[in-house]
Amino acid sequence: MANQLSNLDQVFAALADPTRRAIVMRLCAGEASVGELAGPFDMALPSFMKHIHVLETSGLVQSEKSGRVRTCRLSADALVGAEDWFQQQRAVWEARLDRFEAYVMKLKKERAGAKRPSRTTKRKGS
C-alpha cells in the first residue's frame, strides 16, 4: 500500500508540470524521439531531458536508445493507480453529496410541515 502511494505521488508530481503534461499528451498520439518531443519547447536539450527523466521515474514514459536516437513511448499502466485513486475519491464524494441531498430534502419537508396552517373547524350555532 505504501509503495502504491509512493508511485501515485510520483505520477501526480510528474503530471503537475505543464511541460510534462504536454509531453504525455503528445505521446498519446504515438511514440516519438526526444528531438521531436523537444521541438515545441523553448529550452535547452539537457533541461528537456530532466523532464523526460521525471516521466520515466514515475513510470509514465519508457524510452529506448538506438544509436544516437532516444525514442519515448507512453506507458499508460502508470495511470491505472491514479485512475483507481480518482474512482475511490469520486465514490466518497458522491456518497457525501447523496447524504447532503437527503439532509436538505429532510429540512425542506420539515420546513414545509411547519408552514402549513392548522385547520380549525367552525362550530355550528356559534
Residue 124's pLDDT band (boundaries 50, 70, 90)? low
pTM above 0.85, yes or no: no
Helix extents (H) in 16-77: 18-27, 34-38, 45-58
Higher pLDDT, 4 or 105: 105
The per-residue pLDDT for range 29-50, each reduced to its tens digit, is 999 999 999 999 999 999 999 9
71-83 pLDDT tens trace? 999 998 888 888 8
What does the pLDDT look like over 81-93, one tens digit per residue? 888 888 988 988 9
Residues 6+ positions from 20 with CB-CB distance below 8 Å: 14, 51, 54, 55
Check pLDDT > 70 for residue 119.
Answer: no
Query: What string of DSSP letters covers 86-120?
Result: HHHHHHHHHHHHHHHHHHHHHHHHHHHHHHSPPP-
> 77 or 27, which is more confident?
27
pLDDT confidence of residue 13 = 93
User: What does the alpha-carbon distance between residue 80 and residue 57 come to, in Å, rounded to a whole number?
Assistant: 16
At 11 the pLDDT is 93
Strand order in the sheet with 69-74: 32-33, 69-74, 61-66
What is the DSSP-derived secondary structure letter of residue 30? Answer: -
pLDDT band at 5 (very low <50, low <70, confident <90, very high): low
CA distance 51 to 61: 10
**26 burial type by CB count under 10 A (0-12 exposed, 13-18 middle, 19+ buried):** middle
C-alpha closest to that of 59 among 82, 40, 35: 82
